[in-house]
Structure 1
Amino acid sequence: MTQYQSRFDTSLKKQHFLPKYWPTWFLIGLLFIFSYLPIKWRDRFAAFIADKIYNAKFLTKRKQIAFTNLGLCFPEYSQAEKDALMRENLRSVAQILLSLGEIAFRSRRFLIQRINFIGEHYIKEAEAQGKSIIFLAPHCYGLDFAGAAAISARGYPLSSMFNDYRNPIFDWFVTGYRTRFTKLAGKGTLYHRSEGLKPAIKSLRDKAHFYYLPDEDHGRENSIFCDFYASKKATLPVIGRLAKLGRAVVIPTYTSYNAATSKIDVICHAPLENFPNGDEQHQTELMNRAIEKVIDENRAQYMWTLKLLKTRPEEGLDIYKR
């Protein structure tokens, strides 16, 4: 067995119970309480709060980033359309945040029932063929539900990477619920992004699938420019290598909170066909087309507030400067 064990330490220490961390523990306590409240009531409360704070000053910067991204990706959108999308976006953020405690505190059976898993048969087909899977998952607010509550909780082996928070209590809490069901499959791990792709490849070769977030901007030196909707995006050209070295198929995956049904829709599209093929530019363009297709399942739940387009083809241009 070649399973990789992360070197990153997220265990609790005595100093993590000092008074400066008490607010964090209080927030985790609130998540515990919210995880047991009636879901319909909680969703209405979250939407009410989101509508009340939409025009709050502390959200101005994030909304400006989002409107910049939306303007570049969808130049046909009017200001009213962008505003409506971001209002829905904030409601989804609030509803998902108040649901996060479920992953840590509720039963496996409860979590499985919370998920509307669309396209799970693609996972079963890949496993029946002896294939590992790269879940190509762009940044959406419900991504933890996909990894932990949909994939791991059903016994599929899964590895992923993460960046640590500045708060070690959040590190402990988040990494704990993300790896909560790893023992069901007996393999899979969570490792720090600074450790690179080597552990991902080892995990894939050991038939532990990999949850890959491909859409962050990692700068000019590490990226190539590919189309992303109507804009150009600096994109890591690693998906082809990862699939080839990991002997894996690539399944585009998206998560969307459905307030109408009070369930989380985890949507798997068909694996990329005949992949990898062509050069890195072609492979990365194919990846971005797949990312666009899953985002289109519900554009309002994508993380438009990230500086997705920070690195521009024109050097020295800062599109987010205000």
Structure 2
Amino acid sequence: MSKHKSRTRETRYTRFLHPRWWPSWLGIGFMWLMAQLPIRVQWWLGKLIGELAYRLVARRRHITEVNIRLCFPELSAAEQQALVRKAFHSNGIGIMELGLAWFRNPRQFASITQVHGLEHVDAALARGKGILLLGGHYSTLDLGGSLVTEHIDADVMQRDHNNPLINAVMTRARERRYGMALGSRDLRGLLRQLKQNRIVWYATDQDYGRKGIVFAPFFNIPTGSITATSRIAERSGCAVVPFSHFRREDKPGYDIYFQAPLENFPSGDDLADATLVNQTIEREIRRHPDQYLWMHRRFKTRPGPADPDFYRKQD
């Protein structure tokens, strides 16, 4: 693992001793305590958290209902609502898994984790140009990343948390697993790591506004999709390897998937590239559709100013 850590954020706990940070410390301590529970208990508690959120957090439930309705029109209304509810349960478990990722050693879960397609990573590294791990916002986000560091030596790009103390805990946890936790806008640092033939986890599947995007299909919906993935691959020559991670449904356990690198990428056509990226992520989501972050307004930015706002409630 790389010894060079990111210094762009404050991670010294001594800077958070003032009483105003005590409520945050209390919450972090509670997370640590919950992380010590058996995993079956954590999954049960996570489903309970998800059920409460499903019933009480109306705005996020509405966003999820819209997304599921748009992306799975083949399902009946009852099936769509069942998937919405299950998505809340899965993301509730994901909240519990944050503690596992931040405070437990991933080696403890080696016996219930299976990695598929690691040969694609080995082959791509042999090219010497680095790997951009094309990830997605699955509910196993932090734990999946933590588990995979038992098998590969990688860096990660992260959006810093708004709470500086929680951000410090998150960053320190990730830097224990990864070589470096780069800021989400640190493209120079990303390119530097790729030049050193490093592996960097990178996700593109959120709505970042109108800057630097094309409207490529995602679940057959024209969706604002960033073109930065193509620029990064073009400038670095890196391989773009799709990467996903899911929890099993029948018993506690996890599966990590690496796919073959994207072919003919970048192609020189931003729309074609973004379409390929979206199709790749969509294919992975369909493995376990409930384990995706449907609470995000993925279709907020529309192609035209007159296009309807999917998330506006009708009177």
Common fold by TM > 0.5 = yes
**Deviates further, 67-76 or 165-174:** 67-76
Show the 5 A alignment for 1:117-266: 117-150=115-148, 152-154=149-151, 156-182=152-178, 188-195=179-186, 197-266=187-256
Q: State the SS of the aligned residue for 1:180.
A: helix
CA pair 4-273 structure 1, distance change in 2 beyond 3 A? farther
1:249–1:110 distance in 2 versus 1, CA, 3 Å = same
Q: Which whole-Å CA distance do the structure 2 matches of 1:149 and 1:18 have between them?
A: 34
Aligned AA (2:102): A
Counterpart residue identity of residue 157, structure 1: D
Alignment CA distance shift 1:157-1:246 (3 Å):
farther
Is the alpha carbon distance of 1:55 and 1:104 closer, same or farther for their aligned partners in structure 2, counting shifts above 3 Å?
Answer: closer
> Residues 205 and 246 of structure 1 are in contact (CA less than 8 Å); yes or no, is this contact kept in structure 2?
yes
> Is residue 285 of structure 1 aligned with residue 275 of structure 2?
yes
Residue of structure 2 in register with 1:185 after alignment = none
Deviation track 1:246-292 (CA, whole Å, cap 9, x = no partner) reads: 22111111121224221222222222123222411111111111111
Change (3 A) 1:181 1:55: closer
Which amino acid in structure 1 is aligned with residue 184 of structure 2?
R
| C-alpha RMSD of matched pairs (Å) | 2.3
Tell me the distance in 2 between the aligned counterparts of 1:23 and 1:274.
51
Q: Equivalents in 1 of 2:278, 2:53: separation in Å? A: 33
Q: How far off its partner does 1:299 sit?
A: 0.9
Give me the whole-angstrom Cα distance separating, in 2, the residues matched to 1:53 and 1:74. Answer: 22
Q: How far does residue 204 in structure 1 lie from its aligned partner after superposition?
A: 0.7
Q: Does structure 1 residue 98 correspond to structure 2 residue 89?
A: no
Aligned-pair identity (%): 29
Give the Cα separation in 2 of the matches to 1:207 and 1:277: 22
Whether 1:318 aligns to 2:313 is: no
User: What are the equivalent positions in structure 2 for 1:65-104 lying under 5 Å apart?
Assistant: 65-104=63-102
The TM-score normalised by the length of structure 2 is: 0.90
**Does the C-alpha gap of structure 1 residues 272 and 16 become closer, same or farther in structure 2, counting only changes over 3 Å?**
same
Q: CA deviation at 1:170?
A: 0.9
Structure 1 residue 105 displacement after superposition: 2.4
C-alpha distance in structure 2 between counterparts of 1:168 and 1:125, whole Å? 39
Gaps of 5+ in 1: 183-187
Q: TM-score, normalised by structure 1?
A: 0.88
Structure 2 match to 1:32: 32
- The answer to whether the 8 A contact 2:155-2:180 is kept is yes
Structure 2, gaps ≥5 residues long: none
Question: 1:17 Cα deviation (Å)?
Answer: 2.5
Aligned 8 A contact 2:133 2:201 in 1: yes
Letter in 1 for 2:257: I
What is the DSSP-based 3-state SS (H/G/I as helix, E as strand, rest coil) of the residue aligned with 2:299?
coil
Q: Give the 3 Å change call, closer, same or farther, for CA 162–217 of structure 1 in structure 2.
A: same
Q: How many residues align?
A: 311
Q: CA deviation at 1:82?
A: 1.8
* Native 8 Å contact 1:39 1:262 kept in 2: yes
Residues 157-216 of structure 1: CA deviation (Å, up to 9, x unaligned) = 32222222221111011111111134xxxxx42122233x22111111111111111111
